[in-house]
Amino acid sequence: MKKIQHIINGEATSGASTETQAVYNPATGEQTAELVLGGLADINTAVENSKQAFKGWSTTSPAKRAKVMFNMRQILIDNQDLVAETISKEHGKTHDDALGEVTRALEVVEYACGITEKLKGDFNSDVGPGIDTHSNRQPLGVVAGITPFNFPSMVPLWMIPMALACGNTFILKPSERDPSSANLIHDLFAQAGLPAGVLNVVHGGKDAVDAILDHKDIHAVSFVGSTPIAEYVYTRGCAAGKRVQALGGAKNHMIIMPDADLDQVADALMGAGFGSAGERCMAISMAVPVGKETADRLIEKLIPQVQNLNIGPYDKKGAEMGPVITLDAKQRIEGLISQGESEGAKVLVDGRDLKIAGYENGFWVGATLLDHVTSDMSVYKQEIFGPVLSVLRAESYEEAVDLINSHEYGNGTAIFTRDGDAARDFATKIQVGMVGINVPIPVPVAYHSFGGWKRSIFGAHGIYGPEAVHFYTKLKTITTRWPTGIRSGAQFNFPSMD
């Protein structure tokens, strides 16, 4: 049985803990590995190594740090199939979907290659008599990331390249459900020339998370996961004096206007609702057609596409959707479908109790389509995080907008329309952080920043892009005067530059 260990100071180690956890192939339901779970002692060891590595890495020139990122870019391109296969074996998503994850991760590495430009400061001469002022951004020290199962390579690579390029050292605590990707990322960075100890990986559960949040020598924490845990991470981390960016859950709506191209809408909803088996924080789980005719026409187009979705293991040719991550996830998703049905939702396509020939013990949930969902139902209020697309019919555009704005989450949303006025009004008024106009999953490119609103994020900074530079650095401003031989005498009033 494969044993997955921590990587500290460039070496694989089981650390101080004797606790382990099984890792599964979701398509077969079989255990594929045993994961070592660390805790306080292992986090302490990783922090001490990170602190030592910081001394050299933080004084390495930004140009040399960028060179590591350039190397990593090429290594990631050369190994993209290996990375995708590692993702798929433990997550279950199709190979093409996993390749898409690698591509979006690569974009952030490429953005980090330009760190020399991003770290340039400001300068003003003669702000006062013989006085100049300049500012720069300096690294924080040891920082950490706590990442989810649904993007085991992309989300760590949303954090690590920017944190390292800014001169910090990084401790990664990945999901216990698909941990191999994290170790592979470490190994690829090592191939790229990253010194030992600059990136450490510690596996674990809540004990490891709490150790990160409480440790006085970890200066910032990035988190992506569910809203309850995001709020916990933010509250505990801030109480310990850290910078925290904690990205939480979502309930993403797509408004479909009567003038929209419904063939385009149906295709968009299939990918946005069922890609990665719906295990995306930017998945569209709520379709909101405006008007009965729009809703009826949309349903007519969706039903055959949902019924004919090609579901299978990642290496099945033509597979469009794989299993969900665990048996617990399967049972929870199917329970929510049943609860929605009992509350009055109409199940048009039922994905419960799906069996795939040859993979009968896998964690399969079929694509599910619900109609006549209302805002008081559990399937509307909760983030299902599975292959369930719900249709909530709105009588007017205004009703649809009010529905979205009143929801506790504000991660992503979209509108499909040919009307520029409606699109502009939607983009202005909607209380959501990432908005798509005829774009179903509006995940920003790497040179913008990712982040929702309301209870989809805790903290002032989005992730990657320009926001990451500010999150992973601190501003220093230096005001300078060189002696000129002229004395002006002591001044006791607050200094000014007049």
pLDDT digits (tens, 9 = 90+) for 261-279: 999 999 999 999 999 999 9
- pLDDT for the residue 410: 96
Helices (H) and strands (E) in the chain, counts: 16, 23
Give whole-number Cα distances, 13 to 5, 46, 173, in Å. Answer: 6, 11, 15
Does residue 371 contact residue 348 with C-beta atoms inside 8 Å?
Answer: yes
Supply the pTM of this predicted model: 0.95
Residue 258, phi-psi category: left (phi > 0), alpha (psi -120 to 50), beta (remainder) = alpha
Q: What is the mean pLDDT of the chain?
A: 96
SS3 at position 294:
helix
Q: Is the dihedral of CA 28, 76, 202, 5 positive or negative?
A: positive
What would the two tokens of residue 182 be? 């994290």
Percent of the residues in the chain that have a pLDDT greater than 70, as a whole number: 98
Distance CA 148, CA 108 (A): 18
Condensed to tens digits (0 to 9), the pLDDT of residues 143-168 reads 999 999 999 999 999 999 999 999 99
Condensed to tens digits (0 to 9), the pLDDT of residues 393-429 reads 999 999 999 999 999 999 999 999 999 999 999 999 9
Mean pLDDT of 377-391: 97
Assigned CATH for 252-437? 3.40.309.10
Mean pLDDT of 107-136: 95
Condensed to tens digits (0 to 9), the pLDDT of residues 422-474 reads 999 999 999 999 999 999 999 999 999 999 999 999 998 999 999 999 999 99
Binning pLDDT at 50, 70 and 90, where does residue 487 land? low
Q: Where, residue-wise, is CATH 3.40.309.10 in the chain?
A: 252-437
Distance CA 54, CA 57 (A): 5
- pLDDT for the residue 498: 62
Per DSSP, which regions of 339-482 are E strands?
A: 346-349, 368-371, 388-391, 409-410, 412-416, 434-437, 453-454, 457-458, 473-481
Report DSSP state, residue 281. Answer: T
Residue 137 exposed, middle or buried by CB count within 10 Å (0-12, 13-18, 19+): middle
Does residue 140 contact residue 472 with C-beta atoms inside 8 Å?
Answer: yes
Name the residue among 203, 134, 192, 135 with its Cα closest to residue 161: 192
Per DSSP, which regions of 116-259 are E strands?
A: 122-128, 131-139, 142-146, 169-173, 199-201, 218-224, 243-247, 252-256
What phi and psi values does residue 103 have, to the nearest 5 degrees?
-60, -45
Residue type at 241?
G
Task: Give, in degrees to the nearest 5, the angle at Cα 491 between 488 and 495.
Answer: 105
Mean pLDDT of 82-93: 98
Distance CA 383, CA 344 (A): 18
Give whole-number Cα distances, 31 to 23, 324, 326, 330, in Å. Answer: 6, 15, 11, 17
Distance CA 420, CA 405 (A): 20
Percent of the residues in the chain that have a pLDDT greater than 90, as a whole number: 95
- pLDDT for the residue 1: 87
Does residue 413 contact residue 435 with C-beta atoms inside 8 Å?
Answer: yes
Distance CA 12, CA 21 (A): 17
One of 113, 166, 238, 281 is an active-site residue; which one? 281
- pLDDT for the residue 287: 98
Architecture of the structural domain at 2-248+456-478? 3-Layer(aba) Sandwich (3.40)
Distance CA 67, CA 192 (A): 9
In order, the DSSP letters of 106-149 are HHHHHHHTTHHHHT--EEEEEEETTEEEEEEEEE-SEEEEE--S
281 is annotated as an active-site residue = yes
Half-sphere exposure of 239 (CA within 13 A, CB side): 10
Q: Which residues contact 495 (CB under 8 A, 6 or more apart)?
A: none
Mean pLDDT of 26-36: 98
Binning pLDDT at 50, 70 and 90, where does residue 486 land? low
Distance CA 14, CA 475 (A): 38
SS3 at position 238:
helix
Give CA 250 to chain center in angstroms. Answer: 12
Mean pLDDT of 478-492: 79
Name the pairing type of β-strands 412-416 and 252-256.
Answer: parallel
What would the two tokens of residue 4 be? 């997955």
Q: Where, residue-wise, is CATH 3.40.605.10 in the chain?
A: 2-248+456-478
Condensed to tens digits (0 to 9), the pLDDT of residues 277-327 reads 999 999 999 999 999 999 999 999 999 999 999 999 999 999 999 999 999
- pLDDT for the residue 412: 97
Distance CA 182, CA 4 (A): 10
**What is the torsion angle, in degrees rounded to the nearest 10, for the CA atoms of residue 87, residue 93, residue 96 and residue 100?**
-70
Condensed to tens digits (0 to 9), the pLDDT of residues 55-82 reads 999 999 999 999 999 999 999 999 999 9
Q: Is 80 exceeded by the pLDDT of residue 495? A: no
- pLDDT for the residue 485: 66
Q: Which residues contact 331 (CB under 8 A, 6 or more apart)?
A: none
Q: Is 70 exceeded by the pLDDT of residue 497? A: no
- pLDDT for the residue 483: 81
